[in-house]
Structure 1
Amino acid sequence: MRYTPIAAALSLFVAISASTGYGKAAEPADPRVESLLQSGDAALASGDIAGATDRFEAAAVLAPGYAEIFMSLADVARSKGLQGKAIHYYRQALTLDPGNLSAIAGEGAAMAEKGAIAKAEQNLTRLKSLCGSDCAEVGALAAAIERGPVEPVRSADASGGDAMAGMDEPVEVN
């Protein structure tokens, strides 16, 4: 019985010290990661989506616990019109950094673009509770919800034309 107060104080100290590092986003220790992220951002800005994807995926191999990489991959996916994949990447970023306001807003915007307005509004409510009504992320998500769903990307075959048109003639093989 004499040791109960000491044990309680010690366990409280351990619990507090263990939880202080829980919500922090991991920073990349490898300088190559920052270089890959910068070159990926430059490639994305210049329209080289495949190059940006390659650089971001290489960075993810080097630092899989860095949430910014998944944010960048989500941006690439959204630029391709792949909102479902973007939502997946935003959720990975939120797993690594639960308080990432940009990830919450990005996930909500991708949901709105996909047509899941009710879920996007849940993210908007969550953002408002975390940062108030006047932060930039709230404004961006509210604008995305207002725009609503985007038209899905269609392949060349989805135009309704006959893919085999002009193939009636025999082909010579040498």
Structure 2
Amino acid sequence: MSAALSRKSRRFVCLLLGLVLAAMLASPSARAVDARSESASLRLAAKAADAMDRGDFLRAQKLYETAIVANPGNAGAFTGLGEAHQARDEIRFARKYYRIALSIDPADRHALSALAQLDLEAGNRAGAEAGLRKLRAFCPACEETRKLSRALGSGASDPSSPATDP
């Protein structure tokens, strides 16, 4: 019974997020958020990040979802929601929320890196390399860029790392 409730709850949340995204895409004015809502969204996302640090991924997920309702343009909350789903091995949802984050902020290095890492883990080297190229364009010296470059074994082509022979 509780499994059915959790599935129903998950579907409701997905429906709610879908409606919020549809409204956001339907009109540019839907993206306008008042200062109070933006501030609330940032506070909720910070609480969610704390929950992630404690390993309370379900609580973090719920807080990120609430942050998104407060401000559907909060790319960081979508990235965090992706991280919460990834931590719970819900990779399909993680990918979805990373992509939404990138549709809001194409330079979100955390979402770019996480999506590229998921591509690499799934055996999609071309997707991971495309993610690395984007990371290098937005943030060539970031830790995410260096980490992904090492994971791909392409550190030699990274100007910020020493050349090595494989």
- TM-score (normalised: structure 1): 0.61
8 Å contact 1:70–1:92 — kept in the other structure?
yes
8 Å contact 2:41–2:74 — kept in the other structure?
no
Q: CA RMSD in A?
A: 2.2
User: Counterpart in 2 of 1:37?
Assistant: 45
1:39-62 Cα shifts (integer Å, max 9, x gaps): 111111111111111111011111
1:82 paired residue among 83, 90, 108: 90
Q: Does 1:72 align with 2:80?
A: yes
Superposed, 1:95-106 pairs within 5 Å as 95-106=103-114
* Count of paired positions: 120
Q: Does 1:135 align with 2:142?
A: yes
1:53-108 Cα shifts (integer Å, max 9, x gaps): 11110111111111011110111122122233222111111111122222222211
Distance 1:72 1:89 in 2: 8
The gaps in structure 1 that reach 5 residues or longer are 1-25, 147-174
Distance 1:79 1:101 in 2: 18
Distance 1:47 1:28 in 2: 32
Which entry has the higher C-alpha Rg, 1 or 2?
Answer: 1
Q: Percent identity?
A: 30
**Aligned-partner SS, 1:140:** helix
Distance 1:99 1:109 in 2: 16
Amino acid at match of 1:112: L
8 Å contact 1:124–1:142 — kept in the other structure?
yes
8 Å contact 2:119–2:128 — kept in the other structure?
yes
- TM-score (normalised: structure 2): 0.63
**In structure 2, do the counterparts of structure 1 residues 61 and 125 end up closer, same or farther at CA, with 3 Å as the change threshold?**
same
8 Å contact 1:94–1:103 — kept in the other structure?
yes
8 Å contact 1:28–1:34 — kept in the other structure?
no
The gaps in structure 2 that reach 5 residues or longer are 1-31, 154-166
Superposed, 1:118-129 pairs within 5 Å as 118-129=126-137
Distance 1:69 1:40 in 2: 9
More helix by share: 2
